[in-house]
Structures are given as structure tokens and as C-alpha cells.
């Protein structure tokens, strides 16, 4: 029998994607692998990101006999998917910023992309904009600080509202009507983002679309134990572990590339 669905991210952001996949495929087993020792990915060089991610994901996908790999990290997805697909024989799915649906939804034809600095500067991102939002004004907002705020929030720490407002102020002043959440961390604090930006800005992310893609690729129903295991590269706080327990996780492991 095939192994779990392996969902990978730098931190807790991929939980937003995992939630959507579980809605589509509730009978599957899941492993959530996150490389929190190197968080945030937006600050890494391209070579550091590629080398570390490919080694970590490949090793644990093979160790677990995973049925599919979901790279639930926008920054990593812009760089590592081709090499992963060369090295693995199972499907590999990445996340793509929701530029196309945002351009279709925007009445003002003025949209924003909120992502890590790495995602914002990639040629991959600009190609998406050119292909799907050529009729829109697209503003890019790069931040790693918001990733860290989301991490703290999910670990049951209070959000620094002043810092959040400082990050979001340029977006509020931009007059966009649709904001693409181009990092899987950001849906975790979507309510707080929406509260600041107001009802005039619609937030979009890729979680549901990714889940539908995974369901399509895993067309055969899988009767697992519905087990959720979490693997991480740096010891996690008790607050984060409590949150993961609330999500249904029961198996926790500190791992390296070679474990």
C-alpha cells in the first residue's frame, strides 16, 4: 500500500494547504515535513534553498514511501520542482500564486501580490504576471517579517499588531481590490490581514486549487489510518506542538536529511 501524502514547507504555512487537501482526501495518511531550522526561506540564496530542500524532501519521500509530494511553499516552488521531479518517481505538486484568478476577479484591474522577497523577485513570478495579468496593474509587496508573525501566531503567541500594521500599510494605501497571498503562511493570519485592509480588498490563495490537483493525481481511494505525523528540522515550542495536536497530529519527530 502506498505511503502518506508528504506536505512540505519551511514552517507552519503549509498547514493551510494541508487543511484543504484533507477536505478533499480525508481517508489518507499525511506527513507534514517542515524545515524550520532554515526559516524564513525568503532570506536564503537560491543555491542554499535548492540544495537543502531537494535533499530533505527526496530523502524523506523515499523513507516514507510517500504517494505524492506537495511543496506547500511558494518560495521553494519557484526553484525546486524540476529537480525534485527528476529525482522522484512519484508526482510532485507545487504552489503557484493565484495571479490568474485575481486578475479575473479584480474590477479595478489593480491587484497586489504579497509574498516573500524571494518569490517577489523571481522571473517565474514575473512570467505569471505577464501571462495572466497583462491587463492589470500589479503591485508587489515583499516581506519576511509577516512569515515570522504567522509562525508566532500559530504557536499561540500574540501578534505584534503594530508590526502587522506597518507591513500592511503600503498595501492599504495602494488602492488594489484583490490581494494574492503568495506565501502559504499568510492564510494562517488571513482574518487579521483582512481586518486591517477592510472589505474593499478580497484575499486569494492557492490552497483549494492545489488540493483539487492532488485529488486528481491520487484518483484511487486510499484507506489509511488517517494518521498525521509532523517532522521538523528544529525543535518546536510547546505552543506550536499544542496547535498541531489540535489539528489532529499524534506523531512528532525531529529529523535531519539522513534520519
Q: Give me the residues paired with residue 114 across strands.
A: 141, 181
**Burial class of 86 by CB neighbour count within 10 A (0 to 12, 13 to 18, 19+):** exposed
User: Is there a catalytic annotation at residue 31?
Assistant: no
H-helix segments, the chain: 15-24, 46-64, 74-87, 99-105, 117-121, 123-132, 145-154, 161-172, 190-197, 207-217, 238-247
3-state SS assignment for residue 210:
helix
User: Is there a catalytic annotation at residue 231?
Assistant: no
The CA distance from 115 to 130, in Å, is 17
User: Per the residue annotation, which of 31, 73, 136, 231 is the catalytic one?
Assistant: 73
Q: Which three cell numbers, joined as nine digits, stand for 220?
A: 484511487
Q: Which three cell numbers, joined as nine digits, stand for 196?
A: 486591517
User: Per the residue annotation, which of 31, 136, 183, 231 is the catalytic one?
Assistant: 183
Contacts of residue 23, defined as CB under 8 A and 6 or more positions apart, other chains included, come to 211
DSSP state for residue 143 in the 8-state scheme: -
The CA distance from 140 to 121, in Å, is 9
Q: Which residues are catalytic?
A: 73, 183
Amino acid at each position: 500500500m502506498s505511503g502518506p501524502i508528504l506536505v512540505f514547507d519551511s514552517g507552519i504555512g503549509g498547514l493551510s494547504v494541508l487543511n484543504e487537501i484533507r477536505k478533499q482526501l480525508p481517508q489518507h495518511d499525511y506527513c507534514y515535513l517542515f524545515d524550520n531550522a532554515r526559516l524564513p526561506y525568503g532570506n536564503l540564496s537560491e543555491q542554499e534553498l535548492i540544495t537543502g530542500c531537494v535533499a530533505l524532501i527526496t530523502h524523506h519521500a523515499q523513507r516514507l514511501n510517500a504517494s505524492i509530494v506537495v511543496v506547500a511553499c511558494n518560495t521553494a516552488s519557484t526553484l525546486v520542482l524540476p529537480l525534485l521531479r527528476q529525482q522522484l518517481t512519484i508526482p510532485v505538486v507545487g504552489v503557484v500564486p493565484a495571479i490568474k484568478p485575481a486578475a479575473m476577479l479584480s474590477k479595478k484591474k489593480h491587484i497586489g501580490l504579497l509574498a516573500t522577497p524571494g518569490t517577489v523577485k523571481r522571473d517565474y513570478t514575473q512570467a505569471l504576471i505577464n501571462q495572466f495579468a497583462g491587463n492589470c496593474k500589479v503591485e508587489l509587496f515583499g516581506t519576511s517579517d509577516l512569515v515570522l508573525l504567522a509562525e508566532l501566531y500559530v504557536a499561540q503567541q500574540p501578534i505584534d499588531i503594530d508590526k502587522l500594521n506597518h507591513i500592511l500599510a503600503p498595501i492599504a494605501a495602494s488602492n488594489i481590490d484583490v490581494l494574492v497571498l503568495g506565501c502559504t503562511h499568510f492564510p494562517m493570519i488571513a482574518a487579521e490581514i483582512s481586518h486591517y485592509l477592510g472589505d474593499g480588498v478580497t484575499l486569494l490563495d492557492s490552497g483549494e486549487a492545489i488540493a483539487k490537483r492532488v485529488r486528481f493525481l491520487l484518483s484511487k481511494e486510499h484507506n489509511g489510518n488517517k494518521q498525521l505525523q509532523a517532522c521538523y528540522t528544529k525543535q518546536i515550542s510547546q505552543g506550536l506542538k499544542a496547535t498541531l495536536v489540535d489539528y489532529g497530529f499524534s506523531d512528532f519527530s525531529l529529523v535531519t536529511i539522513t534520519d
